[in-house]
Each structure stands twice: as structure tokens, then as C-alpha cells.
Structure 1
Amino acid sequence: MKPAGIQNKEQFSKDPAEALEQLMDHYGAVVMRTAYFYTGDRHLAEDISQEVFLRSYRKWTSFRGDSTVKTWLTTITVNVCRDKMGVRMFTEQPTDPSRMEQGRTISVEEEALEKLKKSEVLQYLLRLPLPYQEALYLYYYSDLSTKEIADATSSPEGTIRNRLHRAREALAKLINKEESTDDRHR
């Protein structure tokens, strides 16, 4: 089921400047949240978000609309994160969004990230190998289909389906193990 709202390029303005405003309004929080998931650093995620929207502005007229706008922006976000993080991204685990710095007025992006930290499942997700984290995050938190994740990560769709399957199994084992440990301690 697709979320309501603007999904296709035709629904946005043809003018890149107006389209940029619409993109930022509709997908700013998604881009920020995804960048933060990959980097674990709020300031770097903000820089990446700006770069994503700058790239989308520059490429708006050449974007053919073969995918949804959300998938296109997610692809740009993943690529910018990979460019910025380089090898580090594959050796460090993404940071739990609950570790974000607080203490100032909460923006829309920060509010979205705050919702992420409240999810207990995310605590378990962060214990999984990075490819599983990525697949689960993009599928459940970004609401992308396996085809859209495959496009965004330049991976075969079968690989994404396999990662999702294995990630769900691993996640269930972690949760069940934790619950049985909790039961023994009661």
C-alpha cells in the first residue's frame, strides 16, 4: 500500500525551484532520517540532506520519473551517504537515533528522528549486520518496496528479498532470546 501524498514527478511543479520547495516539504524528514540512520551524526545528516536537495534541484529536469520521487530521493541519499562515509560506513554500525543531541527547539526533522528512537524494535535492529539493518530500515521505516530498495541501493531485488527474510529471522531470534532472558530473571 502506497502512502498518500505526492508520489510521481508529474504531481510536482516543472520549475526546479518550486519543485525543490515541494520536495523539501514532502520528503525533508525522510531524507534527514535516512541520512541520520546511515551516519549516526545529526550535523552530518543535515549536511547530507542539503546536498541531496541540491543534487535533486540540479537533476530535476533530467529525472525521467521512472521511479517514485521518494525512491529517487532515497537513492540520492544512500549514494551521498556512501560517498561521505566511504569505507567507514561498512565498518561502523549506524547510531541509534536516540543518541541525537537535544537541548534546542525541535525541528520537524528532529521530531521525526525522535519518533524513531521510541521504537524498541530499532534497538534490536541496530544489533544486526549492516546489510540487514539497511534492508529492514528502508522497508519498514521508509516504506519502500523491495524493488525500490533494490533501485536505491543498486542491489538485485532477489538479494533484497533474501536480506529481508534473513533479517526478520535474525530479529525474531534476538527478540525471543531477550524475552526468554527477561523471563528467567523474573
Structure 2
Amino acid sequence: MKPAGSNNKENFAKDPSQALEQLMESFGSTVMKTAYFYTGDRHLAEDISQEVFLRAYRNWNSFRGDSAVKTWLTTIAINVCRDKMGVRMFAEQPTDPSQMERGRTINVEEEVLRRLQKSVILRHLLRIPLPYQEALYLYYYLDLNTREIAEATSSPEGTVRNRLHRAREALAREMRKEETINEGHGE
């Protein structure tokens, strides 16, 4: 099944060099945020982003376009993160991509990311198990559907739907838990 819209391979240059430039322009931020989500380290996320686009460049001609380009790049990003992080990935909690340290220049995107950092939901998200964090991140932050998440994480689609369902329940429990604590303290 071919992806619909501007996210399919036909909308990018056939030449890998030209396609690379388009990919970096269109998805550079997504890849960087995904790498930072997994690593929590800006410099490592930058290295991983470079590796992702290098792999995309090398494999552009063999990419058939059966999935959306965004899904393909996200899959590469997840695999590179898992390769780089190894077992350590599951010992550490993913980091909110909005907490990425930036230069001193503040723009609208950075302001939005700063506000997300303070978001109650994100604070709670980081308290639930990693597979649930991953599912919610890919679904809500990257706007991937369950089929695309399954493809990107090499998981069955039913598992992804189950994780999303359980992640929402776990997130709700975490939020209720804090409400109960706050009510007990008279806040």
C-alpha cells in the first residue's frame, strides 16, 4: 500500500544527493527530536541524526516507497538509537524532546518547546514504562498511525494498539495519583 500525500517517495528527487537535501529540510527536526527522545543527549542526538541521513542517502535508491518517507526515516532513527544505546536505552528514561538545549536565539518553535517542557502531561509521560512512552511519542508527537509505528518499531500492529491503550491508562493513573496527592496537601 503506497502512502498518500506529500510524504511519499515520488515527491522527492530521484538523485540521492538532491533527495538528501529535501529529506533534511522536511524531516531534520523530526529525526533530531526522535534521537533526543531516546538518548537525552544533544550531542549524541546530533551524531545519530547525521547517521540517519547518511543511511538514508546510501539506501535512497533501494527504498521502494512502500511506507511513507517519514516512517522510513523514523524507523532508521529508532534503529540507530537502539544500536547506539544498546541495553542502556532501557535502563534510562527517554527525554522530552522539548528539553533540548538550544543556542541563545529564541524563536517561536523554541518557545513552544519550552512550554511543552512545563506541560503536566509530559511530566507524567516520563513516569510511565518506556514502551508506553515510545508509543505515545510516536503517535502524538510524530503523528504516526499504528501501522507506521508497528513498522518503525518492528512490532505487530496489535501490540502497538495495545501499548497505546495501556499507555493512555497508565498516563491517566499517573495524573490521578498526583491529583490525589495534591488534594491531600490542600493544594
TM-score, length-normalised on structure 1?
0.89
User: Quick check: 16-25 or 109-118, which moved more?
Assistant: 109-118
Per the alignment, residue 162 of structure 1 pairs with 162
Per the alignment, residue 95 of structure 2 pairs with 95
Specify the code of the residue in structure 2 equivalent to 1:19: A
Residue 79 of structure 1 deviates from its aligned partner by 0.2
**Is residue 97–residue 116 contact of structure 1 (8 Å, CA) maintained in 2?**
no
Q: Deviations along 1:101-157, whole A, 9 cap, x unmatched?
A: 345346899677546424331111110111111011101101001110100010111
2-structure distance, mates of 1:8, 1:77: 18
Specify the code of the residue in structure 1 equivalent to 2:131: P
**Is residue 99–residue 113 contact of structure 2 (8 Å, CA) maintained in 1?**
no
- Among all aligned residue pairs of Structure 1 and Structure 2, give the percentage whose two residues are the same amino acid: 75
1-structure distance, mates of 2:112, 2:151: 24
Q: Deviations along 1:40-88, whole A, 9 cap, x unmatched?
A: 0011001100110010011001000000000000000000000000110
**Does residue 152 of the first structure (1) align with residue 152 of the second (2)?**
yes
Q: How does 1:39-118 map to 2 (within 5 A)?
A: 39-97=39-97, 99-105=99-105, 114=114, 116-118=116-118
Q: Please state whether the residue corresponding to 2:144 is helix, strand or coil.
A: coil
Residue 95 of structure 1 deviates from its aligned partner by 2.4
**Is residue 138–residue 144 contact of structure 2 (8 Å, CA) maintained in 1?**
yes
TM-score, length-normalised on structure 2?
0.89
**Is residue 33–residue 109 contact of structure 1 (8 Å, CA) maintained in 2?**
no
2-structure distance, mates of 1:39, 1:141: 16
Unaligned runs of 5+ in 1: none
